[in-house]
Structure 1
Amino acid sequence: MSGLDGLYQELILDHSKHPHGTPLAEPDGRSATSHQRNPICGDEVELRVRVTDDGAIRDVTWTGAGCSISQASASMLAALIDDRVDEDGPLSADEARALVAGFREALRSRGTIPLDEDRFGDAAALSGVSKFTARVKCAMLSWVALEDALARA
């Protein structure tokens, strides 16, 4: 295992043990919740997105159970959204959908498209998951939940 792979593995374990974006926030104002489950392995996530009146994301919170990859991915997504909101104010739904699309493209690439750390923050550590097709759904679960919640908001 290379030093970078080891660092990424530690980052994934840290996010799964000390998750960001939990517990699930109470709905207030405009919000939408999505519950997603991976029936193959039993991973589950319930994600709530709270939005401004014009539909921009205020915050993302979640709760879930499952493997380290699914839980770390949800934590990394919540941290990424929080960091963007803290830096630039509410994140537009279109910007969030573009993040989901980029994440999906990289994870389906079987390792040919790495996730950019500047764009995806800690979630870039999940690039290696794309080489293991059985684990891609684990990493995508919370991102699919965000996409679904935005469609409901």
Structure 2
Amino acid sequence: MSLEAMYQQVIMDHAREGHGRGLVDLTAPGRGESHQVNPTCGDEVTMRVGVEGDTVAAIAWEGHGCSISQASISVLSELLEGESLDTADEIYEAFRALMQAKGEPLDEEREDLLGDATAFVGVGKYPARIKCALLGWMAFRDALIQARAASSGAAVEGGEA
């Protein structure tokens, strides 16, 4: 099986499987939610992120759209849930770099960090598809900012009691 065919299979598997799919209520002290739409194609996602201490404690999402957008969200969920906030930031930046690399692979360290997300390397050749792949990542970033703010607010409130 060629590398390209393997990458296509990873994307299709994630599009079907939908890791983290299901918009459940999160119990983590810091919670954020973001709804993102790609107006070009109609892809949508609503994502909830829960932060506990310095960890991405939970990710839940619901969305619809093309296989690239849905697979990318699934990969994101699988990669980032349970990671430290610093590692989540590193993975987020590595994925953005992959999308800007115009189909060229990244260095070995960032590819190791990305795991299944390296399957999206070919998407970088198609500017219209980059937005599809980044949709969930933008929702994650927005929800994470909210969750961090809520988490630090909960810590301040808890400290004053």
* TM-score (norm. length: structure 2): 0.83
Could you say what secondary structure the match of 1:26 adopts?
Answer: coil
Which of the two has higher C-alpha Rg?
2
Counterparts of residues 1-150 of structure 1 (less than 5 Å): 3-28=2-27, 29-52=29-52, 54-82=53-81, 85=82, 91-114=83-106, 116-150=110-144
Shift in Å at residue 56 of structure 1? 2.3
**Structure 2 letter corresponding to 1:51:** V
Question: Please, which runs of 5 or more residues in structure 1 have no aligned partner?
Answer: 86-90
Shift in Å at residue 55 of structure 1? 4.4
**Structure 2: how far apart are the matches of 1:17 and 1:133?**
24
Shift in Å at residue 35 of structure 1? 0.7
Task: Decide which structure has greater helix share.
Answer: 2
* TM-score (norm. length: structure 1): 0.87
Could you say what secondary structure the match of 1:103 adopts?
Answer: helix
> CA offsets, 1:5-26, max 9 Å, x none?
0111111111111110011221
Q: Percent identity?
A: 43
CA contact (8 A) 2:94 2:114 kept: no
**Structure 2: how far apart are the matches of 1:114 and 1:98?**
14
**Structure 1: how far apart are the matches of 2:89 and 2:132?**
19
Shift in Å at residue 30 of structure 1? 2.0
What is the number of residues matched between the two proteins? Answer: 144
CA RMSD of aligned residues (A): 1.6
